[in-house]
Amino acid sequence: MRWYVMRDLKRTNAKVPAYKLLKGMKMEVFVPMKWHLVTRKGVRVREEVPLIQDLLFVHETQDNLDAIVEKTPTLQYRWLCNTWREPMVVADTDMERFIRAVDATESPRYYLPEEITP
């Protein structure tokens, strides 16, 4: 089992985005989330939405994911550049640190690399 970097091509207002679909299949999925205000039936509601709409991380074997990707046209692997169909993976220890960093606070702040000073 490895952490695969995946891409969800569904629209932002989809009822069942890929991360919910995969969680429903009892897979370990991580999506960095943010709080967003939306208006539902005239009432402003605060809801959690993905920080980057099409980004998700799935902890699964490639064989199991291949079967799901074949059935779901809006779910894709993110591929490494300059390789022939080699999916991006994240090491378990790096992913654990990333999840801990994001979950350390209720409202994490994200910075671009050029915004960080030594």
Encode pLDDT of 47-97 as tens digits.
888 888 899 999 999 999 999 999 999 999 999 988 888 999 999 999 999
| pLDDT band for position 29 (cuts 50, 70, 90) | very high
Q: Is residue 113 part of a domain?
A: no
pTM: 0.82
Contacts 24+ apart (CB under 8 A), 15-20: 17/50, 18/56, 18/72, 18/74, 18/75, 19/50, 19/56
Domain annotation covers residue 118: no
In a domain? residue 117: no
Task: Specify which residues 74 forms β-bridges with.
Answer: none
112 in a structural domain: no
> 96: domain CATH number?
3.30.70
Number of domains in the chain: 1
Give a yes or no: residue 50 inside a domain. Answer: yes
Q: Rounded distance, CA 50 to CA 35, Å?
A: 9
Give the whole-angstrom CA distance, residue 95 versus residue 114: 22
* For the chain, percent of residues with pLDDT exceeding 90: 58
- Within a domain: residue 110? no
Backbone angles phi, psi at 110, to 5 degrees: -110, 140
* Domain presence at residue 80: yes
pLDDT at 101 over 90: no
Strand segments (E) across the chain? 2-8, 28-30, 33-40, 43-50, 55-60, 75-77, 89-90
Residue 111 lies inside a defined structural domain of this protein: no
Query: What pairs with residue 76 in β-bridges?
Result: 7
Q: Residue 40: which domain range?
A: 2-105
